[in-house]
């Protein structure tokens, strides 16, 4: 296969050269907000996570694609990210589960990328200057620079509307009934929820009254992309659910729960993206290694009446909230992993216990 020279140009004019991989972008240009992810494995799960909508993912690990891809590891039916930047794309795949190489997976999904980039230099630049728009492809550098300057990024953009489901659907057959709001939900989250409940996934715009009419034991607020302040109507919907039914939120769901409670959010300089972020559980001081993927965080002391349950040990940001009297809690990190460690998987059991404590006694004596 012939080499196709390509480049990445950031909005500040920085240029990184490499070679094109994956699909051919229209006009030789793809654009989005450029971020970096520090995970060592799980590139397919990262690229297929709807939370990366609007973003170009740079992997800090130098060798990507060595174990190929498999449909079993897709987090959504198709990726919503804008592209991928890597140092070295593996020339061959080597894993018994693999059905396709990464380059073929990218081509099949119409996703472009650039390999051969000095990702260490790029990561250091983003770390120092912050995540920013960029454009990449086989077009001339001047054209890429214009596209980078025109790219709006993710702040103030309702990306949830691009990734949410069109209609409700059901997964699992567990003993409890959960309604899960799809703000960009991952398959691995559904796999975890399905072990504790029968889960009806509903579009992000579903009114609270429609959810309560389903008589759920609990409501789940999913992960998703972009700026929580741009997700129109979600805080008002969540506010109507609080106190009526137990609520559990992850990532964007955590931010939206905080917003519904009167809190505020802010954009992090370069976000948290990776599978090795230390988080302290304040109840007992335990440190959990967590999977993370978000660009926004909850403003300190902005959520009236909420207890901070977890903290990020890298920068001190809020990683968990709980309002006991409303039977609501949330975390900023990803307890389902996919990819990443499973230190926080116990949170799904805590959600199950919270729902069970709220369910009617089968003997007709009120709540358990």
- Which amino acids are annotated catalytic? 251, 334, 336
Q: Annotate 19-78 with three-state secondary structure.
A: EEEECCCHHHCEEEEEEEECCCCCHHHHHCCHHHCCEEEEECCCEECCCCECHHHCCCCC
Nearest to 298 by CA among 230, 356, 228: 228
Nearest to 335 by CA among 324, 322, 320: 320
A 10 A CB-CB count for 277 gives 24
Q: Calculate the CA 157 to chain-centre distance.
A: 15
Q: Calculate the CA 352 to chain-centre distance.
A: 22
Distance between CA atoms of residues 14 and 6, nearest Å: 14
Tokens of 336: 């389902």
Distance between CA atoms of residues 85 and 32, nearest Å: 12
List, in order, residues 6 or more apart from 90 with CB less than 8 Å away: 63, 64, 65, 66, 101, 102
């Amino acid at each position: 296969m012939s080499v196709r020279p390509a480049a990445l140009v950031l909005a500040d004019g920085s240029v990184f050269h490499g070679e094109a991989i994956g699909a051919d972008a229209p006009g030789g240009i793809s654009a989005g907000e450029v971020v970096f992810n520090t995970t060592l494995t799980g590139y397919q799960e990262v690229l297929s996570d709807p939370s990366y909508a609007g973003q170009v993912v740079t992997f800090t690990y130098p060798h990507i694609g060595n174990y190929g891809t498999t449909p079993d590891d897709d987090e959504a039916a198709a990726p919503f990210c804008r592209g991928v930047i890597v140092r070295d794309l593996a020339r061959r795949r080597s894993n018994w589960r693999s059905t396709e190489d990464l380059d073929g997976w990218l081509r099949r999904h119409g996703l472009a990328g650039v390999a051969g980039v000095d990702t260490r230099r790029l990561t250091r630049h983003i770390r120092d200057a912050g995540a920013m728009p960029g454009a990449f492809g086989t077009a001339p550098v001047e054209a890429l620079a214009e596209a980078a300057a025109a790219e709006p990024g993710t702040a103030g953009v309702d990306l949830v509307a691009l990734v949410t489901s069109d209609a409700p659907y059901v997964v699992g057959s567990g003993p409890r009934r959960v309604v899960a709001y799809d703000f960009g939900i991952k398959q691995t989250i559904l796999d975890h929820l399905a072990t504790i409940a029968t889960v009806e996934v509903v579009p992000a715009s579903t009114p609270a009254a429609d959810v309560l009419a389903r008589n759920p034991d609990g409501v789940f607020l999913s992960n998703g992309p972009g700026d929580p302040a741009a997700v129109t109507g979600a805080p008002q919907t969540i506010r109507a659910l609080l106190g009526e039914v137990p609520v559990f939120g992850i990532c964007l769901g955590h931010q939206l729960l905080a917003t519904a409670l009167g809190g505020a959010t802010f954009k992090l300089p370069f976000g948290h993206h990776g599978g090795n972020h230390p988080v302290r559980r304040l109840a007992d001081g335990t440190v959990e290694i967590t999977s993370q993927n978000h660009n926004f965080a909850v403003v300190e002391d902005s959520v009236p009446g909420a207890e901070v349950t977890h903290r990020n040990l890298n920068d001190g940001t809020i990683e968990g909230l709980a309002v006991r009297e409303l039977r609501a809690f949330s975390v900023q990190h990803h307890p389902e992993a996919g990819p990443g460690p499973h230190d926080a998987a116990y949170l799904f059991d805590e959600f199950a216990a919270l729902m069970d404590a709220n369910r009617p006694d089968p003997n007709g004596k009120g709540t358990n």
